[in-house]
């Protein structure tokens, strides 16, 4: 008899964004004349930058000719892309990352979800609350938690991020082995300073823990004093893995490309406390389970780092940041407290005592606007909604007008 992985039964019936998509489709079917504006899932709406299109087309053209055709590529990514990433995203900011420490992938969702596979079953995991659900759900699937009781999985150390701590997690009171951090944060849009981030790096070094640092939204940082990478912090290469994505940076949500940095200094431990290279383990995992990102997509990603590509990417991100500014302005005028949206595409709004899902339903029904209920990101998200700046200017302006009317 074929049996199911029993840990799946601990999960909520569906993934947060699938659940929202179902509710929105149902509403649309019942209200076919409503023009719904989606400010829920962070999905980009603007075309790929011209430089990326040219890179993509060049890649496709090469695939059309026997002499330039590419079959299987290196699982870790082509050197032309890994070199660009190491040079522009890290070395240019003083972080000494080598091209062979970069593992190109089809996106940060897969990598942040898959990475937990290479750790022991009985590790203690610290996860922020609220949080991007992938970190938590994938550890539930792997059997590292107990049951879901009163909004929390047994066995997880939750790092509460609330208005009382400015949505910045505090160091855990008891030792943990694995720590997930995300800055600029999804869902709250908050950022972390170098000195705050250093506390986490120092903590991980002292306790032999590992930090999984999700920097998928670093391109939205416009305050030069903030770290774009954890490797800007001294010592981080020994204790941190970093995830990056071209999805929001360059409009690649449908194109699929990102990468993970696993420094060679980064060590984990066996049962005897002997060191094991994390780089070697991730290399082993990827070469067994992953066959690389398609060649034309990697050519499109390479073009991000060309001179014209860098200008176009900056303009693309600025467009969404302007949307975020309009959302912040509208929320201020409506009298809401919020964080995020200045160095981030997400605005985290306190619903003034409203239940998250009720607020979500009200905005959908009365304004035809989709947001993300904060409670979907964890217990501490209850009472909040997240608004994403990823849409056209016209739609954001229209959505803010409609929300103003609905909330009168
Ligand atoms: C989000 O809306 O939180 C993100 O778009 C989800 C993702 O990147 O997978």
> Ligand 1 centroid to 132 CA: how many Å?
8
pLDDT at 14 over 90: no
Q: Ligand 1: which of 15, 21, 41 to mutate, judged by most atoms within 8 Å of the beta carbon? A: 41
Q: Which residues line ligand 1 (CB under 6 A)?
A: 41-43, 109, 132, 186
Of the pLDDT bands very low, low, confident and very high (cuts 50, 70, 90), residue 10 is: very high
Q: Whose CA is nearest to atom 5 of ligand 1?
A: 42
Domains and their CATH numbers in the chain = 6-47+308-406 (3.90.1150.10), 53-306 (3.40.640.10)
Which ligand 1 atom minimizes the distance to the CA of 109? 9
Q: Is 270 exposed, middle or buried (0-12, 13-18, 19+ CB in 10 A)?
A: exposed
Mean of per-residue pLDDT scores for the chain: 97
Per-residue confidence (pLDDT) for residue 24, from 0 to 100: 96
Taking only the tens place, the pLDDT of each residue in 292-327 is: 999 999 999 999 999 999 999 999 999 999 999 999
Taking only the tens place, the pLDDT of each residue in 212-268 is: 999 999 999 999 999 999 999 999 999 999 999 999 999 999 999 999 999 999 999
> Ligand 1 centroid to 290 CA: how many Å?
22
Which ligand 1 atom minimizes the distance to the CA of 216? 8
Q: Ligand 1: which of 16, 17, 220 to mutate, judged by most atoms within 8 Å of the beta carbon? A: 17
> Ligand 1 centroid to 41 CA: how many Å?
6
Q: Which of 361, 372, 375, 406 is nearest to 31 (CA)?
A: 361
Per-residue confidence (pLDDT) for residue 224, from 0 to 100: 96
Query: Where are the extended beta strands (E) located within 34-119?
Result: 37-38, 102-105
Per-residue confidence (pLDDT) for residue 15, from 0 to 100: 84
Taking only the tens place, the pLDDT of each residue in 75-130 is: 999 999 999 999 999 999 999 999 999 999 999 999 999 999 999 999 999 999 99
Q: Which residues contact 151 (CB under 8 A, 6 or more apart)?
A: 378, 379, 382
Per-residue confidence (pLDDT) for residue 65, from 0 to 100: 98
Of the pLDDT bands very low, low, confident and very high (cuts 50, 70, 90), residue 407 is: very high
């Amino acid at each position: 008899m074929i049996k199911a992985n029993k840990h799946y039964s601990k999960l909520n019936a569906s993934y947060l964004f699938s659940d929202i998509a179902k509710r929105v489709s149902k509403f649309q079917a019942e209200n076919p004349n409503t023009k719904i504006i989606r400010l829920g899932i962070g999905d980009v709406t603007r075309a790929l930058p011209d430089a990326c299109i040219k890179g993509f087309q060049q890649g496709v053209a090469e695939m059309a000719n026997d002499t330039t055709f590419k079959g299987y590529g290196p699982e870790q990514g082509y050197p032309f892309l890994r070199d660009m990433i190491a040079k522009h995203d890290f070395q240019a900011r003083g972080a000494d990352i080598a091209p062979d420490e970069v593992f190109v992938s089809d996106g940060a969702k897969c990598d942040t979800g898959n990475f937990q596979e290479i750790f022991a079953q009985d590790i203690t995991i610290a996860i922020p609350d609220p949080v991007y659900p992938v970190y938590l759900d994938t550890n539930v699937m792997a059997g590292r938690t107990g049951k879901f009781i009163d909004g929390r999985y047994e066995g997880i150390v939750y790092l509460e991020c609330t208005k009382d701590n400015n949505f910045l997690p505090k160091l855990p009171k008891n030792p943990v082995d694995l720590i997930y951090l995300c800055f600029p944060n999804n869902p709250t849009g908050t950022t972390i300073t170098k000195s705050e981030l250093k506390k986490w790096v120092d903590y991980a070094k002292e306790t032999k823990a590992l930090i999984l640092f999700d920097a998928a939204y670093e391109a939205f940082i416009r305050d030069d004093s903030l770290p774009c990478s954890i490797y800007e912090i001294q010592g981080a290469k020994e204790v941190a893995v970093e995830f990056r994505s071209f999805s929001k940076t360059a409009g690649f949500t449908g194109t699929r490309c990102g990468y993970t940095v696993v420094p060679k200094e980064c060590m984990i431990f066996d049962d005897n406390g002997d060191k094991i290279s994390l780089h070697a383990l991730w290399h082993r995992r990827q070469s067994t389970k992953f066959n690389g990102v398609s060649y034309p997509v990697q050519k499109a990603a390479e073009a991000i780092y060309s001179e014209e590509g860098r200008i176009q990417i900056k303009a693309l991100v600025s467009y969404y940041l302007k949307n975020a500014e309009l959302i912040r302005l509208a929320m201020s005028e409506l009298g809401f407290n919020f964080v995020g949206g200045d160095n981030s595409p997400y605005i985290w709004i306190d619903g003034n005592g409203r239940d998250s899902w009720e607020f979500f339903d009200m905005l959908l029904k009365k304004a035809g606007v989709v947001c993300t209920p904060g409670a979907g990101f964890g217990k501490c998200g209850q009472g909040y909604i997240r608004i994403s700046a990823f849409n056209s200017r016209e739609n954001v302006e229209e959505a803010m007008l409609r929300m103003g009317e609905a909330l009168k």
